[in-house]
Amino acid sequence: MRPVLFYVFGWPIHSYGFMLAVAFLIAIIGIGKEAKKYDICFENVIDLVTWVLIGAIIGARLAYVVTEYRYFMASPWWEIFAVNSGGLAFHGGLIGGFLAGFSYTSYKRISTWKLADIVTPYIALGYSIVRIGCLLNGCCYGKVSTVPWALRCAAQDGALRHPTQLYSMIGSFILFLILRRFRNHKQFDGFLFLLYVGLYSIMRFIVEIYRESPMVAPWLSLAQLVCIIMGILAFGLIGFIEWRLNTKSHIKSVDGI
């Protein structure tokens, strides 16, 4: 594990924060290239990604603090704001980032859902990159394991554990490739975003089997419960919207006879 990558004039550069910055820069470049196809200027892309990043960090930190409230009740209050070394919950970040992005696109009168489809693949790619920071930081580790690829982490017992950071990194990169494959879809605006939420929920549910997480039942973690809810909502919305579109198309064809 290497929580601090290097020092700049004596100031520690944490691996988690560094990977978050790398993900941010890659997202700006990738989204900027895609946005040109829809005549969305690069300045708007920078503003959007900045808004989304701020909203995502706030949402992710709030969700993490809520789920780990026992730790923060016994810690100094300023620990709540110490995000440079980890401690973010992705589901909260996804909601916070979307609300921030929705606010920005509404203000600029840009198609929210069309832009969401442009941004979505880079959410998956950014998540994959940030998980490298989790691995180096030693957080988000898995359960004790004897598998050949088990790694030691920052847990006090020093035991070998499932490298769930790597599981998430690989899984999210696969999601990025899938989303890139469907980026020119002919469905509806927002399809790619909803597809990602659904697929991510499945991937995260599986990874949670091997992670140390707060439990709501002996067989179900809090994160898995959230995954079930969000997955049902995402795939349910895809099915409902496609049904509505098919119904309207059928009515128009009948009227045209």
Residues ≥6 apart with Cβ < 8 Å to 145: 160, 161, 162, 210
Q: Binning pLDDT at 50, 70 and 90, where does residue 246 land? A: confident
Domain count, the chain: 1
Residues ≥6 apart with Cβ < 8 Å to 236: none
CB contact at 8 A, 120 and 196 = yes
The number of CA neighbours under 13 Å toward the Cβ of 99 is: 13
Q: Binning pLDDT at 50, 70 and 90, where does residue 81 land? A: confident
E strand or H helix that includes residue 6: strand 4-8
Of the candidates 218, 137, 125, 131, the one whose C-alpha atom is nearest the C-alpha of residue 180 is: 125
pLDDT above 90 (res 165): yes
CA distances from residue 10 to 93, 117, 249 in whole angstroms, order as listed: 31, 41, 64
Considering only residues 42 and 203, tell me which one the structure prediction assigns the higher pLDDT.
Answer: 203
Q: What residues make up the domain containing 167?
A: 4-255
Average pLDDT, the chain: 87
Which pTM does this prediction carry?
A: 0.87
User: pLDDT per residue over 166-176, tens digit each?
Assistant: 999 999 999 99
Q: Binning pLDDT at 50, 70 and 90, where does residue 254 land? A: low
- The helix/strand/coil state of 184 is coil
* CA atoms of 221 and 205, how far apart (whole Å): 9
